[in-house]
Chains A and B, each alone.
Chain A
């Protein structure tokens, strides 16, 4: 097991373009999370999945953002019509929920750094 993997590690895009990031969680983990981290700040929760179901979305996740986890394995995060304010590190994490109130801690990937020019 190589941990949580994110691709690409870096992305530079022009304002108005669409971008898509991929996250591969730890293989047996059924929960997957997306966070965004801007310079000088801690990560902020965006959304999470249990298996293929998206169960919660933050108010930070505008209509231009969409996340999927079609088969309960990898996930994608797409940003449409990117804006300069979208420049940030996008972090993916995963955890294993064994039952009610029984979760492992979240393991984070190395992130995708997005720069919108």
Chain B
């Protein structure tokens, strides 16, 4: 069964500092990989996704993520964090199958706090 591990439950960074959120997945083949962000009481917004090709993907709000097959990782990065980035971040994996139904398996999330 596929699974996603986000090792860090809570991360605190200072505004302007760099950020890296970790994500490891377990899946039998190369999956679709996603990062979503959720503000309190809100739904999920897609930050970026990886399907194939270039392993470094760019997303919205200045985020990027790198797929490393050998490490089964898809870590999210941002060079300079803004106070508005404070939120919960979820890594997700979806099956890469013909006719994929996009059933996503999510990690438990990483809560990001940004100090002024």
A residues with CB within 8 A of B: 4, 6, 31, 33, 35, 40-45, 48, 50, 55-56, 91, 93, 95, 97, 100-101, 103, 105-111, 113
What chain B residues lie within 8 Å of A107 (beta carbons)?
A: 46
- Chain B residues with CB under 8 Å of A97's CB are 99
Q: Which residues of B contact A (CB under 8 A)?
A: 4, 34, 36, 41-46, 49, 90, 92, 97-109
Task: Report the number of A-B residue pairs with Cβ-Cβ less than 8 Å.
Answer: 65
Residues from chain B with Cβ under 8 Å of A108 in the complex: 36, 43-45
Known: A108-B45, A109-B43. A31 touches B101 (CB 8 A): yes
Complex Cα spacing A107 to B36, Å: 10
Cβ contact of A110, chosen from B43, B49, B92, cutoff 8 A: B43
Q: Please name all residues of chain B whose beta carbon is closer than 8 Å to the beta carbon of A106 when the two chains form the complex.
A: 46, 102, 104
